[in-house]
Chains A and B, each alone.
Chain A
Amino acid sequence: MEAATANVTQGNVTHGTEQIANELAGKYLTFSLGDEDYGVGILSVREIIGVMDITAVPHTPSYIKGVINLRGRVIPVLDLRLKFDMEPQDYNERTCIIVVEVQGQTAPVQVGMVVDSVSEVLNIIAEEIEPPPSLGSSGETDNILGMAKIKGDVKILLHVDRVVGEGVLSRFEEAGQEGN
């Protein structure tokens, strides 16, 4: 169980493949985006909610859908499809918001991620995990901890802090500097 949290901060390239796999082993919440399956470490997941009315926030990247009221707390929501430059899709009854908690600048922050549908919680063992493939210099794999191959299916294990970190927590420079 510990491994899932440890890996988040230590996706270090210098480790041996095996070691990475060992660190990554643990329970993952899996979900789908289009034809792809993804997993996020269960320890960062706080809850799963249905899609609710989202209040748009101006001057944010398009993948930030806005903010929602999560039992009195205002939390930002980002659309993972848009974040990963996939075709947008209208929300339906299977669309879910996975609320994850990541470390913000000062305190932990909760952020919602819109996904097509949530599948199940899987216990992924080290043997099933491979390091992320290199897709050239585009840096696309920064968000990925590793690939899990389970019975022929491939699940992409996401580095939640990075996905959310650059998606939400970083300042929106272009928007913020127009003024002054």
Chain B
Amino acid sequence: MANGEKPLSDILDEMALQILMIEPGDLSVVGELLDLVEKILPGYASEDIPVVIQQMANTFRGSLEKLIMGELDDSAENYELLGECISRMQEIARKEGVADEATILAFSATLKKIGFAFDEKELLGVAGFGLAESGEAQPEVEAAEVLSEQEPVAPAKAQPMPDFLQDKELLSGFIEEAFEHLESIEVNVISLEQSPDDMDIINNIFRPFHTIKGVSGFLNLKTINKLAHATENLLDDVRNGKREMDSGVIDIVLTVGDVLRSMVENIKDVLEGGPDKYRDTDITGYVAEIKQLQLGEGAAPAQTAEEPPVAPAPQAEAEPVISSPASPQAAAPAPPRQPSKSAAPAQALPPQQAAPAKGPAQGAPAQAQRKIGAAIKVDVEKLDALVNAVGELVIMQSLVRQNPLVSRIADPKLTKDLSQLTKITSDLQRTAMSMRMVPIKQTFDKMIRLVRDLSKKSGKKVDLIMEGAETEIDRNMVDSIYDPLVHMMRNSVDHGIQPPDEREKHGKPGTGTVYLRAYQKGGSMLIEIEDDGEGLNSKKIRQKAIERGIISESESLSEYDLNNLVFVPGFSTADKITDVSGRGVGMDVVKKAVEKLRGKVEVQSQPGKGSLFVIRLPLTLALIDGIMVRVGRERYIIPTIAIQESMHPEREKYNTIHGKGETLLVRGELVPIVRLYEMFGVEPTFKDPCEAIVVVIENEGRKRALMVDELLGKEEVVIKSLGGLQDIQGVAGGTILGDGHVGLILDLAGIVSSTKDH
């Protein structure tokens, strides 16, 4: 039980529990299951876990991965079968790793029933039912040099880690590069689906594979090299007109892309966590599949394509930079080997290519432009340190300027110099801030694949049109915005867009359209997701809201307010649980995630015409727009985005309930009053709400009127944590004010939840 880890039986029990809770479409539970199973994988597991179980877990994980990638059916039957597999593992665990052949065979058979193909001989081999061929699978890897510190966890399988850790610098460079390449492959493959004959796009897919193959070979990453090589050969056939670019090729290229990505991720883990993290990926299946594609359907003998194309490697590596469709250089290496029959139409129709390719094609030139400018990679920590230091500089220079002694000096030169200094520092601040910004394209590109998979699965036809992918967003926000976006895209495809026949009945084109837009407006970044689908049914929403007790029967709400009820926790518009969007819950989760980023989300919808979801985010996480208020001697900052209005309350609008709960009538709504001075234990100037000022704020749909003494003005401040002080109710963080003092930023979620609704 090394590292005090959970005993095997606990892990298995937990897995069994998880599988019970899975509902089709809810891949998050599968993710949790993956996390669990990883604890008992070869190389991760503590040593007392029987090798057989480790190997079974490994196979099991393979099937989970396929499920997540959508290669296996995400259906209730399959989950049941997976549950069976877990109980087989439990069975063996109970016998302390002494496996009998029948159990393993049953395990294998169950997995195969799900549609997960693998070689059960290996499993049997590990369990001691030795089979002669079991060594055959990895002859090449075995030939590789064995690292001396290789762990003896899976002795029967003896997968030595290839020695690729010699040049870590090169390796980490390769990892970065490979991720970029894989991403560009995915984008290009998907645009290829819309214009399968476009030779430029095929070249754009071919080249990254070629580069990955070349570099991985050089770095002794044998499995990656082998897989990339096989795929490259297949693509070369396509380039040479030996075979068509059909859905089979596209699917395998996407699959290989995913496999390569996970392998590269593993290399990254190894680099960070040491050789123990090494996980061998069995690629023989993929390679065989590729070979079969080449042999089975390709008209010409496939083996001739063994050699890489004439394009010399260095040139090919430089090539992805110039990938705009019209570029003559991009086409240059290809023509000598291109049979004219497929090249001619593609080359002849450059103006038309752009139109059908739509979103993805739009993205491609933008990426090319981005890469052309020389760039260096910088450690994020260094960048953050720079941004922090610049923030200090700005404050310090304003402190110096405001120093009474300095400001009394009437020297024109000093005045001029000081204003010059101010200009330079604010320039510097702007540049430093912009360095943290990245185009949202990366996140958008992932949506292409998502929409493709979703529409395939649901049998709907959906066009994704992306606009403004070059809009920049704080890099710290990129990760956090991904999940909400996925959720909303799913929502749009699943609930918004109707099936083709139904669309046609309503006089719409069979293919639905989802727009994904990003743009900046007035200091905010806006992301819009618009579909031309069903739209929200406000009557149904109303009915449901009443059912759930969210609103009362008598309440009259505008269409807009009704529609935005979908963001209220526990509300769902989907009548039935569908495979795609899970249980239909989750718009409240989207709202929460967006509010965490200090953003807002809202929906506008026209029944029958479609809906428009708008996410409004601050441009950067480092700064917050706030109104500074004074309470007694203290100054607090209230985030502007939550503020609705501020006022001197009129006496007749002030009410108490049972002499205790205080409310204010604001535009016909009773809003609870929060006396900030009481909450924060400060001696205020005013204790009478009608003498003080109230600021009406809204958080997650709940309003509060905060009582303050004075509004001091609008301020853009840099957010800082309060050192070791954490989770202080009502305080989100601190900032350094213009006079060098620390001001506290209010946490409205905390304030709202700590005071009662009425």
Contacts and interface: CB of A to CB of B under 8 A. Distances in A.
Interface of A: 53, 55-60, 64, 66-69, 71-76, 102, 104, 109-111, 164, 168-169, 171-172, 175-176, 178-180
B725 A168 contact: yes
B340 interface: no
A180 B753 contact: yes
A60 B725 contact: yes
B388 A57 contact: no
Interface in B711-727: 720-727
Given A68-B742, A69-B740, A72-B388, A176 B723 contact: no
Contacts of B722: 57, 67, 74, 76
Contact of B682 (A56, A75, A76): A56
A76 B490 CA distance: 44
A72 B723 contact: no
Interface string B724-757: 1111111100111000111110000010011000
A74 to B, nearest CB: 4
A71 to B, nearest CB: 7
B392 A67 contact: no
Contact of B391 (A53, A72, A172): A72
B724 A76 contact: yes
A75 B723 contact: yes
A9 B136 CA distance: 53
A70 to B, nearest CB: 9
Contacts of A73: 720, 723
A7 B464 CA distance: 62
A58 B680 CA distance: 5
B98 interface: no
B411 to A, nearest CB: 28
B731 A58 contact: yes
B535 to A, nearest CB: 36
Contacts of A111: 723-724
Contact of B723 (A58, A110, A180): A110
B328 interface: no
A53 B735 CA distance: 14
23 contacts: A55-B744, A56-B681, A56-B682, A57-B725, A59-B680, A59-B731, A60-B725, A60-B728, A64-B725, A72-B388, A72-B392, A72-B395, A72-B736, A73-B723, A74-B723, A76-B723, A110-B723, A111-B724, A168-B723, A169-B726, A176-B728, A178-B729, A179-B753
A118 to B, nearest CB: 21
B727 A57 contact: no
Contact of B741 (A55, A76, A171): A55
A57 B728 contact: yes
Nearest to B753: A179
Given A76-B725, A179-B729, A67 B736 contact: no
Contacts of A169: 724, 726
A97 to B, nearest CB: 13
Contacts of A178: 729, 754
A104 B724 CA distance: 7
Contacts of B395: 72
A175 B729 contact: yes
Q: Which of B680, B725, B743, B750 has most A Cβ within 10 Å?
A: B725
A109 B724 CA distance: 6
Given A57-B744, A69-B736, A72-B395, A176 B721 contact: no
Given A58-B682, A67-B723, 17 more contacts: A55-B634, A55-B744, A57-B722, A57-B725, A59-B680, A59-B730, A67-B722, A67-B734, A69-B740, A72-B388, A72-B391, A74-B720, A74-B722, A75-B724, A76-B723, A110-B723, A172-B728
B392 A71 contact: yes
A22 B744 CA distance: 45
B719 to A, nearest CB: 10
Nearest to A177: B729
B311 interface: no
B679 interface: yes
Nearest to B392: A72
Contacts of A171: 726-727
Contacts of B681: 56, 58
Nearest to A173: B727
Listed residue (A58, A175, A176) with the most chain B CB atoms within 10 angstroms of its CB: A58
Contact of A179 (B392, B742, B750): B750
Q: Which 4 A-B pairs have the closest CB atoms?
A: A72-B392, A179-B754, A58-B680, A109-B724
Contact of B725 (A67, A71, A179, A180): A67
* Most A CB within 10 A of own CB, among B726, B731, B750: B726
Nearest to B749: A179
A104 B679 CA distance: 28
A133 to B, nearest CB: 30
Nearest to B739: A53
Nearest to B735: A74
A66 B744 CA distance: 10
Nearest to A75: B723
Given A72-B395, A74-B736, A179-B753, A56 B634 contact: yes
Nearest to B740: A69
Nearest to B752: A179
Contacts of B743: 55
Q: Give the one of A57, A111, A175, A178 with max B CB within 10 A.
A: A57
A59 B720 contact: no
Nearest to A165: B724
Most buried by A among B681, B735, B736, B742: B742
A67 B742 contact: yes
B726 to A, nearest CB: 6
Contacts of B634: 55-56
A67 B634 CA distance: 13
Nearest to A53: B741
A176 B389 CA distance: 32
Contacts of B389: 72
Contacts of A64: 725
Contacts of B740: 69
A130 B741 CA distance: 43
A122 to B, nearest CB: 27
B723 A55 contact: no
Contacts of B730: 58-59
A93 B682 CA distance: 26
Nearest to A111: B724
Contacts of B680: 56, 58-59
Nearest to B388: A72
A104 B735 CA distance: 21
Contacts of A75: 723-724
Contact of A55 (B727, B742, B754): B742
Contacts of A110: 723
A169 B728 CA distance: 11
A86 to B, nearest CB: 22
Residue in A56, A69, A110, A169 whose Cβ sees the most chain B Cβ within 10 Å: A69
A76 B733 CA distance: 12
B721 A74 contact: yes
A152 B736 CA distance: 46
